[in-house]
Structure 1
């Protein structure tokens, strides 16, 4: 591999501090929480909350299913362009991932860790021949005294790295989220969603324990008479053994005036459903995912009439930024010439709504700015004879033509009556006419 021969000979660059990462030892949802033992869940634990998993999976899956075109500027339009040295590596990025799996891994790394590091493997002509999404937790950005950026990569046999190496920024595609502390360290939305995700996990764990106890809350056995410590321990042990866990709900017989009083709040008292709903909404808000996309919209706002507007809003608010950033990162990493580049085909977002597509085609064809074969190509249909030209109805006139007509109005009735009458041709005497 071309990057393996590169070595840093100057003074070693300085590692960039990774402020704000959930991988830090101390994870505090608020100041002083660590001392009180109130930390937020890790990445793996937060993924156990269905809202976090649904948002991350939805965004990564929707972006990865979109095709990536290589286009070239022709005048004012961009047209598909055949460039195998750019398109082949993206179609087959590495031996164990196809394009969809590669793009999904790219987006998952960005969504969960705030940073995506893609290692570019080049040949002797500096053409990219393979790409690998690296583990963001093991890559260390470095900055030299001159300001040049480098990346320290650990040994990773799956990615072809037999030993730890340091490579310049030109060999790494670094896509990152917002950078509130350092321009080389991105932050994941999961930072903001950590508290809500942790609360959702706690609610689900408590509910599991609650319903595992036959939906009966904990309580106190009290006696009107004083009892010794040994007797209290024995009564507690016998009660938990005979009436706890799977035995909850059995009939208990107690004497000596002992009474059972529940002390734990029920699910209704604690408003767990409302709290869990808020946690889901807060996670979706951090990821900019509409609730209907993760099956959490109780109002049923998604209908056949507004699906087009909802998908456009979903693209604008959630998907547009990571999609366009990925396009720019690919252009820079592949060092594409001016006037060429990668474009994600966002038309795939409406692939499941044929009614909206057909209605848009009809308006474009009727408006005369789209040819029939262009609409057929968008639906993967073969062209037809005469379909390469846009059509427009005959009664439509250019404004310029109408203005010229108004400059020379038609003659009035009096002028028409005074006009000379055309002479009839002379009669032929030979045939009597």
Structure 2
């Protein structure tokens, strides 16, 4: 270990003590300092506070939870290309086992939930890979991304300084681990070249939205103090009469007797020209609410999440499938593919289409039964799925003669349509007799032939009947 430590010459980014351009992340406080605030070394003495993350921003928490919880719902599988051009699910590989049980204290849902959450909060996700006696990766353990970091040796080799998993620290008797790149699952978002010399440290979308987060937090604090300190009623009683102090108090007491406590919701009777005037929301309050809504939309835009996913309105979709497909085609699809590719690199897979990891997004339509059944029905009718494949996807047993895809009879290739012979020409019409012509006399012997045919038919029927009655 000491030899490897001696080869590590510098960290990713600036050397310790050198200036770094803002914004800055503070692991101790769990927030960000904007560039115009962090330039002061005594920023806390000047009255500035770090901008909080999900714990202080409901919108950021909603965006991060939307990604992490959705990815945790999708089961993953190890796929391999077969000789027929299709693909086979690999069930006996180390990767297939880890996609079910990553370690002995977490389910795959727990693992993906915390991994994706760390990815979008800090821009990085680190997991330590432990191998068995066959040198196969047997366990994956998440580490604290705020305290872990990549290291670059003078030879160009990459190592990781991992920290923050109490279970691993107890089992290995080490708080901080120095691990080579081959034994670390590192999922990272985009890297800004002006901040880091090499692309090994990702950045969270929060950096692009920290201004809107600050606006939202400031509005929330201001409104909280405003509503807690002010004494603004919901309505006032007005009259043109001049009332003294005792009269005003008497009217207030009578109103409270009919509208407060046990009599809440009663019907007060007003006299002497008294009128109830509701206290309307001022223009300043409406503008504040609009500003807060706009800042929330900017945060959702930075995370690439449709507003409908977060319940904030927007254009309505005709079905749940269309809504999910819209998100899969943008932010969620990237997140799933990013996690899949990082896992594939750790397990040395060949990549698409030969060998790869894939998370099944069909689980997202588990509650949309109508959309799911309609899609399976069209797939079977179009010959894409065999009936048994569609039945198995719904947990139903195989049906007899249902292993082969089938199509409707009228669906034929153009070559078959071209081989159909042309229709024969229509027969010419019989000549019509001339008008007012005398009918032709019947040919002689026609009645005798008809009688002979009738007798032959009766004789044949009698023979068939006798033959059936013979034992």
TM-score under structure 2 length normalisation: 0.70
Distance 2:209 2:401 in 1: 56
Contact 1:40 1:194 in 2 (8 A): no
Distance 1:97 1:395 in 2: 53
Of residues 60-69 and 80-89 in structure 1, the stretch that sits farther from structure 2 once superposed is: 80-89
Unaligned runs of 5+ in 1: 218-265, 418-431
Flag the 1:6–1:386 CA change in 2: closer, same or farther, 3 A: farther
Asked if 1:307 corresponds to 2:320, the answer is yes
Contact 2:143 2:164 in 1 (8 A): no
Contact 1:210 1:216 in 2 (8 A): no
- Aligned-residue Cα RMSD (Å) equals 3.0
Query: Which residue of 2 is the match for residue 238 of structure 1?
Result: none
Distance 1:159 1:143 in 2: 23
Q: 1:134 aligns with which of 114, 133, 143?
A: 143
Q: 1:120 aligns with which of 129, 132, 135?
A: 129
Asked if 1:145 corresponds to 2:154, the answer is yes
Flag the 1:87–1:41 CA change in 2: closer, same or farther, 3 A: same
The residue matched to 2:395 in structure 1 has which SS?
Answer: coil
Q: 1:23 aligns with which of 8, 22, 25?
A: 25
Contact 1:115 1:175 in 2 (8 A): yes
Asked if 1:200 corresponds to 2:181, the answer is no
The CA deviation at 1:286 is: 0.8
Contact 2:130 2:183 in 1 (8 A): yes
Distance 2:5 2:376 in 1: 60
Distance 2:91 2:147 in 1: 36
The CA deviation at 1:29 is: 3.3
Over residues 330-355 of structure 1, what are the superposed CA-to-partner deviations in whole Å (9 max), with x where a residue is unaligned?
11212246733321001112222112
Query: Which residue of 2 is the match for residue 180 of structure 1?
Result: 192
Flag the 1:81–1:276 CA change in 2: closer, same or farther, 3 A: same
Distance 2:206 2:406 in 1: 51
Flag the 1:153–1:392 CA change in 2: closer, same or farther, 3 A: closer
Over residues 100-132 of structure 1, what are the superposed CA-to-partner deviations in whole Å (9 max), with x where a residue is unaligned?
010011101110000011110112322111111
Flag the 1:128–1:42 CA change in 2: closer, same or farther, 3 A: farther
Flag the 1:268–1:162 CA change in 2: closer, same or farther, 3 A: farther
Contact 2:90 2:96 in 1 (8 A): no
Unaligned runs of 5+ in 2: 15-19, 234-280, 431-458, 461-471
Contact 2:143 2:163 in 1 (8 A): no
Distance 1:9 1:413 in 2: 96
Flag the 1:58–1:410 CA change in 2: closer, same or farther, 3 A: same
1:394-413 to structure 2, matched below 5 A, reads 394-405=409-420, 408-413=421-426
Q: 1:162 aligns with which of 173, 176, 179?
A: 173
Over residues 151-195 of structure 1, what are the superposed CA-to-partner deviations in whole Å (9 max), with x where a residue is unaligned?
122474322442233211111111101111230010001111211
Query: Which residue of 1 is the match for residue 292 of structure 2?
Result: 276
Query: Which residue of 2 is the match for residue 294 of structure 1?
Result: 310
1:31-430 to structure 2, matched below 5 A, reads 31=36, 34-35=39-40, 37=46, 41-44=50-53, 46-74=54-82, 75-154=84-163, 156-160=165-169, 161-163=172-174, 164-181=176-193, 182=196, 183-216=199-232, 268-270=283-285, 271-297=287-313, 299=314, 301-303=315-317, 305-336=318-349, 339-405=354-420, 408-413=421-426
Over residues 366-386 of structure 1, what are the superposed CA-to-partner deviations in whole Å (9 max), with x where a residue is unaligned?
222221111112212111111
Contact 1:377 1:383 in 2 (8 A): yes
TM-score under structure 1 length normalisation: 0.75
Flag the 1:52–1:38 CA change in 2: closer, same or farther, 3 A: farther
Aligned residue pairs total 361
Distance 2:39 2:282 in 1: 28
Flag the 1:368–1:157 CA change in 2: closer, same or farther, 3 A: closer
Computing the radius of gyration over CA atoms, which structure comes out larger, 1 or 2? 2
Distance 1:131 1:390 in 2: 40
Distance 2:339 2:208 in 1: 23
